[in-house]
């Protein structure tokens, strides 16, 4: 199937031209009449409500609420970060639900405003953290000039004012861990602190626990579950219970959004700070999601799980493979196909990305071993995109009936596996094998070709 990329490029070019013309609505309101409090409030309302990531997008650079020195300082700070570091404008690793301000303290051309961040608002775990924002007057305008990230003390009736409670340590760590581990919706790939090793830099973990996780990753069972989550998938949310503590140790229970799933976090007091010293799974670590009744999908050690939560299926693939989603820029021509995801070794993806310019007719073709294509529509609509072939076979994958269709023009075959959803008649998953039916492509790639049916054997629908 050909994907028309020129259409979307042209569309973005037209939109960019229109937005750059006269009369375009400014991104920010005028600031010359704003006081220090209004400047801080306007900045954080924009920042927290930004439709994306203002750090990675670089949108903060254009903010009229920030001084040029602070913009430069933030850029240098961000460039020095390893994966998963804090946000220099929030002094946190997560985004608060809301905030309030204290009245500004003004002294000549300098001012300061205390910002109160509110976390888990409306729940029993609601908490507030404070931060001081400093401003400099530039003519008639106030600019945020400094945001010292020295988190104030969290009060506790039984601890010194400088010691945050163990609940706060656990909340901060898992807020960051879940946000950093979430699937990227655009590419449907997962990278996170475990795969990048960013957990080793976390100040919320003890050195002994970091070493324990390192040993887990080096063991043969390293791919069976995430030792921080006791699961193979990332939950959407979590709640924490009240800690039970002694003078130097503490423990608390964490429940995740997976039904019936929980684990216990142990903490130890190290250098006047609570640090996570271990995680104990309350039961066998959870797999990604429950599978369709029938044969359970095999769980292979070290493999990743691609889980399409929109259309309710999952499939596993090797750790050194990746997925690339193709843009469907003209859905009216692609119907009933609504999603196409390519699966391939990471090395092949890198090689494909490195190729540029006109295609070399003498170079071997670079083709993804297989696609997973989702179609939503009647069987008649399906057949307009996937015509019936001369070779049709029937088989099963994990208790699911599968129709195998082979298009055989002579010197090669395109092999398709059509899997009908058991309860949704218009939903079909089609796996298209672009490798095993092509002898010239298989030559030299026998190991990849052998993996395709193994990957396919892990397919299952959600319950």
pLDDT given for residue 12 in this prediction: 42
Share of the chain above pLDDT 90, in %: 27
Domain 304-355+362-461 of CATH type 2.10.260? no
Q: What confidence category does residue 184 fall into, taking pLDDT thresholds of 50, 70 and 90?
A: low
pLDDT given for residue 448 in this prediction: 87
Least confident of 338-347, 424-433, 447-456: 447-456
> Do residues 283 and 430 make contact, with C-beta atoms less than 8 angstroms apart?
no
Q: Structural domain boundaries of the chain?
A: 26-146, 166-281, 304-355+362-461
What is the secondary structure of 368-398 as a DSSP string?
-SEEEEEEES-HHHHHHHSPPPSEEEEEEET
Q: Up-side HSE of residue 247: CA atoms within 13 Å toward CB?
A: 0
pLDDT given for residue 356 in this prediction: 61
pLDDT given for residue 187 in this prediction: 54
Pick from 206, 289, 191, 212: nearest CA to 249: 206
pLDDT reading at 145 higher than 90:
yes
Runs of H (alpha helix) within 145-247? 166-181, 193-196, 207-218
- Residue with token string 């990957």: 455
Domain 26-146 of CATH type 3.10.450.50? yes
**From CA 188, how far away is CA 310, in angstroms rounded?**
11
By the 10 Å C-beta count (0-12 exposed, 13-18 middle, 19+ buried), 429 is classed as buried
Average pLDDT over residues 138-146: 91
pLDDT given for residue 150 in this prediction: 52
pLDDT reading at 372 higher than 90:
yes
Higher pLDDT, 376 or 17: 376
Token pair for residue 233? 């998938």
**From CA 152, how far away is CA 40, in angstroms rounded?**
19
Least confident of 197-206, 254-263, 402-411: 402-411
Class assignment of domain 166-281?
alpha beta
Give the Cα-Cα-Cα angle 63, 64, 66 (nearest 5 degrees). 75
pLDDT in tens, 254-283: 998 888 888 999 999 998 889 999 998 875
pLDDT reading at 441 higher than 90:
no
Average pLDDT over residues 187-192: 61
pTM of the model: 0.40
pLDDT given for residue 377 in this prediction: 93
pLDDT reading at 48 higher than 90:
no
Q: What is the average pLDDT score of the chain?
A: 78
- Residue with token string 């309101």: 29
In this chain, the answer to whether the domains covering 26-146 and 166-281 adopt an identical fold is yes
Q: Which residues of 168-206 are buried (b: 16+ CB within 10 A; e: fewer)?
A: bbbbbbbbbbbebbebeeeebebbbbbeeebbeebebbb
Pick from 98, 84, 260: nearest CA to 180: 84
**From CA 332, how far away is CA 299, in angstroms rounded?**
37
**From CA 435, how far away is CA 368, in angstroms rounded?**
8
Least confident of 154-158, 164-168, 200-204: 154-158
Q: Is the peptide bond before 336 cis (omega within 30 degrees of 0)?
A: yes
> How many C-beta atoms lie closer than 10 Å to residue 333's C-beta?
13
Q: DSSP secondary-structure letter at 345?
A: E
pLDDT reading at 238 higher than 80:
yes
Phi, psi of 281 (to 5 degrees): -75, 135
């Amino acid at each position: 199937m050909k994907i028309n990329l020129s259409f979307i490029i042209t569309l973005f070019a037209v939109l960019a031209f229109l937005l750059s013309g006269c009369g375009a609505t400014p991104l920010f309101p005028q600031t010359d009449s704003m006081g220090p409090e209004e400047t801080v409030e306007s900045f954080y309302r924009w920042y927290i409500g930004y439709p994306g990531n203002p750090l990675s997008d670089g949108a903060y650079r254009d903010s009229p609420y920030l001084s040029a020195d602070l913009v430069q300082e933030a850029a240098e700070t961000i460039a020095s970060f390893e994966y998963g570091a804090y946000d220099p404008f929030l002094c946190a690793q997560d985004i608060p639900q809301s905030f309030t301000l204290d009245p500004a303290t003004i002294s000549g051309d300098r001012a300061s405003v205390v910002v109160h961040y509110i976390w888990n608002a409306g729940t029993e775990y609601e908490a507030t953290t404070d931060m001081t924002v400093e401003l400099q007057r530039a003519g008639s305008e106030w600019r945020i000039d400094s945001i010292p990230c020295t988190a104030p003390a969290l009060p506790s009736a039984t601890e010194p004012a400088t010691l945050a409670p163990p609940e706060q340590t656990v909340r901060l760590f898992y807020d960051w861990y879940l946000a950093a581990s979430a699937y990227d919706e655009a590419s449907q790939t997962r990278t996170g602190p475990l795969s990048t090793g960013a957990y080793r830099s976390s100040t919320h973990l003890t050195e002994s626990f970091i070493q324990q996780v390192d040993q887990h990753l080096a063991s043969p069972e390293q791919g069976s579950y995430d030792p921080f989550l006791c699961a193979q998938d990332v939950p959407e949310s979590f709640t924490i219970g009240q800690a039970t503590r002694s003078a130097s140790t503490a423990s608390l229970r964490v429940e995740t959004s997976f039904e019936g799933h929980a684990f216990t976090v142990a903490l130890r007091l190290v250098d006047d700070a609570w640090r996570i010293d271990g995680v104990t799974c309350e039961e066998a670590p959870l797999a990604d999601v429950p599978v369709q009744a029938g044969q359970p999908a095999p769980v292979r050690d070290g493999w990743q799980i691609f889980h399409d939560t929109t259309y309710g299926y999952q499939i596993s693939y090797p750790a050194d493979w990746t997925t690339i989603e193709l843009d469907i820029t003209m859905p009216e021509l692609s119907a009933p196909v609504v999603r196409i995801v390519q699966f391939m070794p990471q090395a092949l993806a890198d090689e494909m990305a490195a190729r540029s310019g006109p295609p070399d007719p003498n170079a071997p073709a670079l083709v993804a071993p297989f696609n997973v294509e989702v179609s939503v529509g009647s069987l008649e609509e399906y057949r307009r995109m996937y015509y019936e072939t001369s070779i049709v076979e029937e088989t099963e994958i994990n208790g699911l009936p599968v129709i195998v269709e082979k298009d055989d023009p002579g010197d090669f075959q395109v092999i398709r596996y059509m899997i009908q959803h058991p309860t949704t008649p218009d939903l079909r998953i089609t796996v298209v094998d672009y490798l095993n039916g092509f002898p010239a492509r298989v030559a030299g790639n026998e190991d990849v070709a052998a993996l395709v049916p193994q990957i396919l054997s892990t397919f299952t629908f959600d319950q």
